[in-house]
């Protein structure tokens, strides 16, 4: 009887042995991928909303700041020169009410 209970205890303990590190790592990786995909979607839709025609668009304009990149890195490597353009939304100035608080 004692031998049977010992065998049962060993079987129960070996069956419960899992590798939580692997499953935890997998769930963390999946969560990271889902979060980064969500951030990309949010950025896409924010840009679409900003550029969409309509009445809900905020007052202001989009300016493009451009500069020519020389193609030389800090450590002296030579890369192909390129022109970089960054769109920047410049809000319209708030109307002055004329009166102070």
- Tens of pLDDT along 32-91? 888 888 888 888 888 888 777 776 666 788 899 998 888 888 898 888 888 888 888 888
Nearest to 84 by CA among 99, 70, 101: 70
pTM score of the predicted model = 0.34
Cβ count within 10 A of residue 50: 13
> Any idea where the domains of the chain sit in the sequence?
18-54, 58-92
Q: Is the per-residue pLDDT at 20 higher than 70?
A: no
């Amino acid at each position: 009887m004692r031998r049977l209970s010992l065998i049962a205890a060993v079987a129960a303990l070996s069956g419960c042995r899992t590798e939580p590190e692997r499953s935890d790592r997998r769930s963390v990786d999946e969560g990271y991928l889902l979060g980064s995909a969500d951030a990309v979607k949010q950025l896409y839709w924010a840009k679409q909303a900003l550029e969409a025609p309509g009445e809900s668009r905020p007052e202001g304009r989009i300016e493009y700041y451009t500069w020519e990149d020389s193609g030389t890195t800090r450590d002296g490597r030579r890369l192909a020169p390129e022109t970089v353009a960054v769109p920047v939304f410049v809000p319209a100035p708030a109307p002055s009410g004329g009166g102070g608080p």
